[in-house]
Amino acid sequence: MRLSAGDAIDMRLEPPDAVVQIARKLGESGHEAWAVGGAVRDALAGRAGEDWDLATDARPERVRRLFRRTVPIGVEHGTVGVLGRDGVLYEVTTFRRDVETFGRHAVVEFSTSLQEDLARRDFTINAIAWNPLTGEVRDPFGGLDDLRGGVLRTVGDAAARFAEDYLRVLRALRFAGHFGLAISADTWRALREAVYRLDVLSAERVRDELNKVLGKTAAASTTLRLYAESSALSQLIPELAATIEIPVEDGLDAWTLALRATDAVAPARVQLRWAALLHTIGYPAARTRDLRGGWRYTGHERFGGDRAAQVLRRLRSSNAEVERISRLVGLQSDLFPPDAPDAGVRRWLAHVTPGYVHDLFRLRIAMWRASPSPRGDADLKERWQHVRRVRRDRPVLTLEGLALGGNDLRALGLQPGPRFREILHDLLGRVLEQPELNRRDELLAIVQREHIGS
């Protein structure tokens, strides 16, 4: 079916009741209320829509007066949060039109026209409005056709729309990847040019966008491949672009391995997906010739941890995220061998620290799934069970868990200083080996025998 501008077709989408109630209230007060944006697009594409947003000709002050419970989310931009009966906060935004745009953000003014409001939206598939009371669809830019035909296209002239807001370049790649759409020739041509202006975007916006790529799409690799193909990758994360065509395993390059590992992690685990995506980032720096003329990558994990931290800091990720993700990358190969004794598992636990254990295993599983011909690691499940067995005894893994501390050393007449830590580390090493040694009298005896001398 070919729809032309303004065509009304009846379509029953299924928004939450609370959305219909909010629309009804606006309607009864003489206002228009349209569901717009992501949820309409998702629902029309046959996916559960989240974030049902409404657009209305009512001004924000009016919306605030009409509903009992509202939150001024961004009143100056026209957005009021209205608390639905289901306890969800729905965004109700006054129709807007762009007055001025800068490539990063726009100055908008309120409008009374749905058409104008749809015209400022980025892609045709995002510019479809649906009336929750009547089922009427307004689709002036052919978004439904594009959705059906599998095409991603800007509303209006692509080059101009990207120049207004370069984030749209990344949004285009994400929507194309997420919905499996082909980017139209015009839009792609303009996008390939606009990629070189991505440097005007703030690190935070890029990071948030990448988090959506990783957090919303099961096959994030489809989008990430488009990042590479469009050169957005080399603009934003050249360290990752450098892994393309670095041969690693059975004809697979470091980039492809990283993509496969990323897809093997559930989207809900965004940090772990970052670790999977960055886990081969140290290969280019570590690459050296081996004696037979092939390549080796000894120590790529350490380079990788450093580079991952560099990338994430540049994207202004939180310190906690930088620390966690880069540490996972650095530790990716540090798993105890299959035949390790319990003491080996305890030493490994002390080395990686308990908070990393689960994710390290998950990362290893993802790497194993990514591998075209997995060799080791077929026994990951058994090794995981081994960890659980060992942890059941709640072994002491840190200095704090020792039955003897600094005070005891002082009481023995030892002077505080680096020597203290040395002694305590020695004791921990022994306790990891033989947990039954962790008794005050035993440890005191060891200190007297080994460190003070008799």
CB within 8 Å of 229: residues ≥ 6 apart: none
Nearer to ligand ATP, 212 or 324 (CB): 212
Q: How far apart are the first and last CA of the chain?
A: 95
Confirm or reject binding of residue 51 to Mg ion (CB under 5 A).
Answer: yes
* Residue owning tokens 């007060």: 29
Using CB under 5 A, which of 16, 27, 38, 267 touches Mg ion?
38
Q: In 298-373, which ranges are E strands?
A: none
Quote the least distance from Cβ 204 to ligand ATP, whole Å: 14
Give the binding range for ligand ATP (CB under 6 A) out of 16-24, 164-172, 332-340, 409-417: 164-172
In the chain, the amino acid numbered 94 is T
- What does 167 interact with, of Mg ion, ligand ATP, none (CB < 5 to 8 A by kind)? ligand ATP
Q: What Rg value do the Cα atoms of the chain yield, rounded?
A: 29
Give the binding range for ligand ATP (CB under 6 A) out of 130-138, 162-170, 384-392, 410-418: 162-170
Using CB under 6 A, which of 32, 57, 117, 122 touches ligand ATP?
122
Asked if 417 contacts 410 with a C-beta cutoff of 8 angstroms, the reply is no
Quote the least distance from Cβ 24 to ligand ATP, whole Å: 22
Cα–Cα distance, 234 to 249 (Å, whole number): 23
In this structure, the dihedral spanned by the alpha carbons of residues 173, 178, 179 and 180, taken in order and rounded to 10 degrees, is 70
* Residue owning tokens 């990323």: 262
Residues 289-328 that bind Mg ion (CB under 5 A): none
Confirm or reject binding of residue 61 to ligand ATP (CB under 6 A).
Answer: no
Nearer to ligand ATP, 70 or 154 (CB): 154
Question: What is the total count of residues that contact ligand ATP (CB under 6 A)?
Answer: 11
Confirm or reject binding of residue 139 to ligand ATP (CB under 6 A).
Answer: no
In the chain, the amino acid numbered 133 is L
Using CB under 6 A, which of 31, 121, 207, 347 touches ligand ATP?
121
C-alpha 380: how far from its chain's center?
A: 25
Burial of 143 (0-12, 13-18, 19+ CB in 10 A): buried
Give the binding range for ligand ATP (CB under 6 A) out of 4-12, 120-128, 180-188, 368-376: 120-128
Residue numbers at the binding site for ligand ATP (CB under 6 A): 37-38, 51, 121-122, 126-127, 165, 167-168, 212
